[in-house]
Structure 1
Amino acid sequence: MEPLDLPPIAPHECEAAAGTARRIVENVRAAVQVQSRTLEHLIVALLAEGHVLMEDYPGVGKTALARALSRSIDCQFARVQCTADLLPADVVGTNIYNQREARFEFRPGPVFANVVLVDEINRASPRTQSGLLECMQERRVTVDVHTHELARPFVVLATQNPAEYEGTYPLPEAQVDRFMVRLSLGYPDLNHEVAMLGDHGAGDRVLALEPVVTAAEVLAAQDTAARVQASQPLREYLVRVLARTRDDERVELGASPRAGLMLLRAAKARAMLYGRGHVEPDDVQALAQPVLSHRLVLAPDALGVGADTVIADAVAAVPAL
């Protein structure tokens, strides 16, 4: 099947979209100490209409980074603090009977915001976690056979702590696969941590952030990213990287076709950030680990090997264009 013909991107469109991204990056950096590569991956996911899973130890800034991004965009923000007794209706909404008008009314849940922070998602029950599947994949919610469209732009920023498992419910593969990228912030280096103590000693700097871009600007940047060109050889190169993960003896479940679609969309957004109207192998290589690592299932006998190692080996083994 031939790919759809997309209208070419004018230089001013690419520059406008990159300018939108730069304003968000500068605003977030004013409040949160974060590595440039991590912040780039976060912005790529936003512009590629993807969702983000931030997985790391407590206290490294996962929630602060999500809040800083949400406050940088002039959109509606909602936060869901997950607990074991959280119900799907608490997230997606429910029908409430209006006695005055003698009819049921739909009360939307927090997922109807533009930016939704789902804090400690692995503390929610599997039933509640599954309530996020439809909204993350199809940007809509079905309640009592009625379908409700979600706002645009729409992005879910979920956090989880991989170190504490008591009272948690590991995300199933189908749920994890809905996240475009998985980020790990890690501990800051000495200089950044010293600067953080000085910056945040007087209070929460995230609360002082003001929006720097509008919803319309984000939508325009997303549209521009979607129209970035990916040549036939580039798509073949990407598929060969995916196939390499499937053929690896250390992997029980390799990267799926959906993983390839996510990687291509992310690569388009990264190319746009660097002022290009076409994807290059560098874009695929730079995003392979954050997009693919959480989608691989390693074989039981692959002791001492991580998904990042498998992906790095696959990228190194497949020749670029």
Structure 2
Amino acid sequence: MAAESGAGIDGGQGTAPASFEARLELAQRTSARLREAIGQAVVGQDDVIEQTLWGILAGGHVLLEGAPGLGKTLLVRTIAGCLDLAFSRIQFTPDLMPSDVTGTNVLVAAADGSRHFSLHKGPIFGQVILADEINRATPKTQSALLEAMQEHACTIAGTRYAMEEPFFVLATENPIEMEGTYPLPEAQLDRFLLKVLVPGPTEDEMTEILARTTGHDRGPPPRVLTRDDVLSLRSLCRDIAVAEPVMRYASRLTRASDPAAEGAPEIVRRSLRFGAGVRGAQSLVLAAKAVALLQGRAHVAFADVQRVARPVLRHRMIRSFEGEAEGITTDQVIAALLSAIEARPEPVAQAIRR
């Protein structure tokens, strides 16, 4: 970003801080450059790229779910290549141990013959973490990520180590292989800001993939954002304004996903055991702020909340036995919620008209 304008989002290089409007415009242009750079390696998947950027701008973690060969790992590696951040990859397997993720203390000998314990940091100590096939590891190993994802810190042998900011976990999982996989615990799913479904390519996209991957290597993508740029964008995302009616709409959507809540739609009471919680409402607002930032707007609209509802809420709802037996998906429940819950209830609409 600094390469384009000579200054970062906040002015930088000794210049006066840019106005909020100027920062928004610069953020929009830079985001477009980032998408263009990612598109040099990833064919299609525009919605997937867009939603992953929501997570990065909002400072959250993203879970990518799709069949093998759809470019999930390529997307994460490309994003890491476009950002001047430390990249780590963890290949999750059934025999992976928690210490393989976090690291451990090892006994080392000094030059004078003395011995002491020294921390050998694991791959979790990066900034962009690719948790590849996360559902192939046991729940014990998956839990090694919980503290880092929630608190951006890791405790090893009683000592707490803070992660270098910014810190993102971009995880992938394969939904069709059941043997040797372990479903992610609800507590860990809830720590992902978004769950993004990766679709298969169209015929045109498949043809372009073949053209790119059966010829010569095109080389790494260009670096677009520095560490300070990413931190500035994340701070700017938090500055996006959210009016109280929009906040209340996000609250009503989240509360209506609880089958025990008053006024919950029939499909919710019939097909869900548990709905989205407080993190779901927080994630709705944060992801909606990221949508507004990418479009260069200083405020969140009702449509932004509706746009992010599926990737934000789909992994936070637990279906009941009846819901699973009837084949009702959480996306269908979210669609029903968006239809049933009004953005502006009638009393609010009457007050606006007056």
Whether TM exceeds 0.5 here: the answer is yes
> Does residue 288 of structure 2 align to residue 267 of structure 1?
yes
Structural mapping, 1:211-222, within 5 Å = 211-222=223-234
State the SS of the aligned residue for 1:157: strand
Pick from 259, 269, 276: which aligns with 1:255?
276
Give the superposition deviation at 1:108. Answer: 1.3
Aligned length: 313
Q: Which amino acid aligns with 2:327?
A: G
> Does residue 224 of structure 2 align to residue 201 of structure 1?
no
User: 1:204 & 1:314 partners in 2: Cα distance?
Assistant: 46
Give 2:53's aligned residue: 43
Structural mapping, 1:117-266, within 5 Å = 117-205=130-218, 207-246=219-258, 247=264, 248-249=268-269, 250-266=271-287
**Structure 1 residues not aligned, in runs of 5+:** 1-8
User: 1:108 & 1:227 partners in 2: Cα distance?
Assistant: 34
Pick from 110, 115, 121: which aligns with 1:108?
121
Deviation by residue 1:57-106 (Cα, 9 ceiling, x = unmatched): 11111111111111111111111111111111111111112221522111
Give 1:61's aligned residue: 71
Whether the 8 Å contact between 1:271 and 1:277 is mirrored in structure 2 is: yes
Whether the 8 Å contact between 2:81 and 2:220 is mirrored in structure 1 is: no
Q: Return the TM-score normalized by structure 2.
A: 0.85
Give 2:334's aligned residue: 311
Whether the 8 Å contact between 1:20 and 1:218 is mirrored in structure 2 is: no
Give the superposition deviation at 1:203. Answer: 4.6
Deviation by residue 1:113-138 (Cα, 9 ceiling, x = unmatched): 11010111111111110000000011
User: 1:271 & 1:113 partners in 2: Cα distance?
Assistant: 28
User: 1:141 & 1:50 partners in 2: Cα distance?
Assistant: 17
Larger radius of gyration: 2
Q: Which amino acid aligns with 1:275?
A: G
Deviation by residue 1:7-53 (Cα, 9 ceiling, x = unmatched): xx710111222233222211111111133222111101001011111
Give 1:4's aligned residue: none
Structural mapping, 1:13-28, within 5 Å = 13-28=23-38
Deviation by residue 1:251-303 (Cα, 9 ceiling, x = unmatched): 11111011111111111111111111111111100000001001101121121
Give the superposition deviation at 1:156. Answer: 0.6
> Does residue 312 of structure 2 align to residue 291 of structure 1?
yes
User: 1:222 & 1:234 partners in 2: Cα distance?
Assistant: 21
Q: Return the TM-score normalized by structure 1.
A: 0.94
User: 2:222 & 2:329 partners in 1: Cα distance?
Assistant: 39
Give the superposition deviation at 1:233. Answer: 1.0
User: 2:26 & 2:83 partners in 1: Cα distance?
Assistant: 16
Deviation by residue 1:150-195 (Cα, 9 ceiling, x = unmatched): 0111111111111111111111111111111111111111111111
Whether the 8 Å contact between 1:20 and 1:221 is mirrored in structure 2 is: no
Seen in structure 2, the aligned counterparts of structure 1 residues 301 and 203 have a Cα distance that, compared at 3 Å, is: farther
Whether the 8 Å contact between 1:23 and 1:213 is mirrored in structure 2 is: no
Give the superposition deviation at 1:111. Answer: 1.2
Q: Which amino acid aligns with 1:215?
A: R
Give 1:320's aligned residue: 343
Compare 240-249 and 152-161 and name the one that shifted more. Answer: 240-249
